[in-house]
């Protein structure tokens, strides 16, 4: 393990192989014929490390002691760079809420460089909130503690849930105040500034290719695609029309896998614009995300999306396909064959239609999934759940406690429902037709499971491996933010530790698995969020 940041092996392949912005001018502007602009982080007044991820430190090949050094704090708060780094901001575009937005780019993210570990893994280190870039438009390039805390915690929580994601190395408070209009209502306020260091194989997005295509810059488009394939998909071979097609098909499959995981754990991204879609199939850009608490497929955490709910939980699978279609349009000149790209795009649907039912069967504890037999059972449950206010995480976790083993006597309605009652926000809603439908479904469920030959203990263990007990509920993140703004970081560290083992019972930490409290129903940060950060 390296005991100093200077031992990291930077090769900065992205900046070495792709064209740079020819202008050395850090002001908002259109950047043409370039993949990035070189830019330096801005110093902060009195940085302080709030938290770091020991797992990411180890992934980078760094000894645990490195996080305790002044050099670590200085580099990952934007106050210093290493000679081997090549700080830059990437140029990309994107479709936002279904409309082409033109050039976007890293407006508040500065990539420090790329390292290659002793095991051959490639990681980009990127600071979010470290100052303005040519892509900042009218913004200041900074970030506040509330959004940075949410990104730091959620990146690591998602990883431990088994969801493909970017990672977060560190979270530092800057000591500077940042002005934000949190509700976009003309009442700006000062908030504590912060910088989060996030880590990924790359931060290349669908929009990276869209911007080049939108400008008919086919040379840049080809350079971007060739670099991406040779660096991150070398197993596909030398770039060609066929390889570009297979590369796109692989992105489609990875995207489907990622979204199936989102649906499994109840995660809602909130802003699935094409500039927020990673070509690695990783969850990227944690902005106004949220977790389904009461099961509502129509819920979105994003106030900007409140009217049309384009990015609601139930629409995420469709939006994934729509976004891939925009990427297909962008790379079409490289393939020049509609049928080839259409076939590759269908890999998304094929993969999703294969893995989503299997995932749902696993959540239900079905050992031998049969699509024709099980789809009505799955579909009927998802029709029943929104009829009452029932916590998604706790419902599926509690379902494992329903006795279904062959030989068990037929329980009465009260006994059948009892293990699930703790998941309902208002048990008096579980009456009449809804109660009858729920009981009827549970009876069918018991009948389906009973003949599989597994004991309740075996089924419970299997279900508890895919149905988490602990997720980063919105109100828990907000409580950690509240404490951190007062200088108290104990809850941040405890929450981070709880989320390392989201599938395990953790005695003494039951409060982190509780339903959303009433006070959090409408409080800012606990229900819906804006993009302001």
Q: Which residues are catalytic?
A: 275
Q: Which residue has the tokens 């796109």?
A: 248
What is the per-residue DSSP string for 423-460?
GBS-GGGS-HHHHHHHHHHHHHHHHHHHTT---HHHHH
Q: Which residue has the tokens 């309605």?
A: 413
d(CA 427, CA 422): 8
Please report, for residues 33, 208, 276, the alpha-carbon distance to residue 239 in angstroms, rounded to integers and kept in the order given.
21, 18, 25
d(CA 78, CA 498): 29
Q: At what angle do helices 316-335 and 218-232 cross, to 10 degrees?
A: 110
Select from 250, 255, 251, 254 the least CA-distant residue to 269. Answer: 255
N- to C-terminal Cα distance for the chain?
A: 35
Render the burial of 403-437: b for 16+ CB within 10 Å, e for the rest: ebbeeeeebeeeebbebbeebbbebeebeeeeeeb
Rounded to 5 degrees, φ, ψ at 509 are: -120, 25
d(CA 493, CA 54): 12
- 179 forms beta bridges with 190
d(CA 291, CA 266): 6
Please answer whether residues 368 and 358 qualify as being in contact, where contact means their C-beta atoms are separated by less than 8 angstroms.
no
């Amino acid at each position: 393990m390296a005991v100093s940041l200077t031992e990291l092996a930077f090769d900065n392949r992205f900046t070495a192989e792709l064209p740079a912005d020819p202008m050395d001018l850090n002001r908002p502007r259109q950047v043409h014929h370039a993949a990035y602009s070189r830019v330096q982080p801005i110093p902060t007044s009195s940085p302080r490390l709030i938290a770091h991820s020991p797992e990411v430190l180890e992934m980078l090949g760094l000894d645990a002691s490195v996080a305790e050094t002044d050099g670590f704090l200085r580099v990952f708060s934007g106050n210093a760079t290493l000679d081997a780094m090549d700080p830059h901001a990437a140029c990309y575009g994107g479709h936002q809420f279904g409309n082409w937005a033109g050039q976007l780019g890293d407006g508040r993210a500065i990539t420090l460089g790329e390292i290659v570990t002793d095991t051959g893994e490639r990681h980009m280190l990127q600071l979010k909130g470290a100052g303005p870039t040519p892509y900042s438009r009218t913004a200041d390039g900074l970030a506040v503690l509330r959004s940075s805390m949410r990104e730091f915690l959620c990146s690591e929580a998602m990883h431990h849930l088994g969801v493909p994601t970017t990672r977060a190395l560190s979270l530092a408070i800057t000591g500077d105040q940042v002005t934000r209009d949190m509700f976009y209502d003309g009442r700006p306020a000062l908030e504590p500034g912060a910088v989060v260091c996030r880590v990924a194989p790359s931060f290349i997005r669908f929009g990276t290719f869209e911007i080049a295509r939108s400008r008919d810059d086919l040379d840049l488009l080809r350079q971007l695609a060739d670099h991406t394939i040779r660096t991150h998909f070398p197993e596909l071979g030398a770039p060609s029309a066929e390889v570009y097609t297979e590369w796109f098909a692989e992105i489609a499959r990875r995207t489907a896998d990622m979204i199936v995981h989102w649906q499994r754990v109840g995660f809602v991204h909130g802003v699935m614009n094409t500039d927020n879609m990673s070509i690695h199939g990783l969850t990227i850009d944690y902005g106004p995300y949220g977790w389904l608490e009461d099961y509502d497929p129509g819920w979105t955490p994003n106030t900007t999306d409140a009217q049309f709910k384009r990015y609601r939980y139930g629409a995420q699978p469709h939006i994934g396909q729509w976004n891939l279609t925009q990427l297909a349009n962008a790379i079409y000149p490289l393939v020049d064959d509609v049928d080839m790209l259409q076939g590759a795009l269908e890999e998304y649907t094929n993969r999703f239609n294969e893995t989503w039912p299997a995932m749902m069967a696993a959540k239900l504890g079905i050992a031998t999934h049969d699509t024709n037999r099980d789809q009505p059972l799955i579909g009927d449950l998802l029709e029943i759940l929104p009829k009452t206010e029932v916590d998604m995480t706790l419902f599926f976790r509690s379902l494992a406690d329903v006795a279904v083993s062959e030989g068990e006597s037929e329980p009465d309605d009260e006994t059948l429902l009892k293990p699930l009652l703790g998941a309902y926000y208002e048990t008096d809603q579980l009456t009449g037709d809804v109660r009858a439908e729920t009981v009827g479904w549970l009876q069918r469920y018991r009948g389906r499971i009973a003949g599989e030959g597994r004991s309740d203990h075996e089924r419970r263990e299997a279900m508890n491996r895919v149905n988490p007990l602990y997720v980063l509920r919105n109100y828990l993140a907000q409580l950690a933010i509240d404490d951190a703004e007062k200088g108290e970081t104990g809850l941040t560290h405890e929450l981070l530790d709880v989320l390392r083992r989201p599938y395990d019972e953790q005695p003494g930490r039951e409060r982190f698995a509780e339903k959303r409290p009433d006070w959090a129903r409408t409080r800012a940060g606990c229900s819906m969020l804006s993009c302001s950060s």
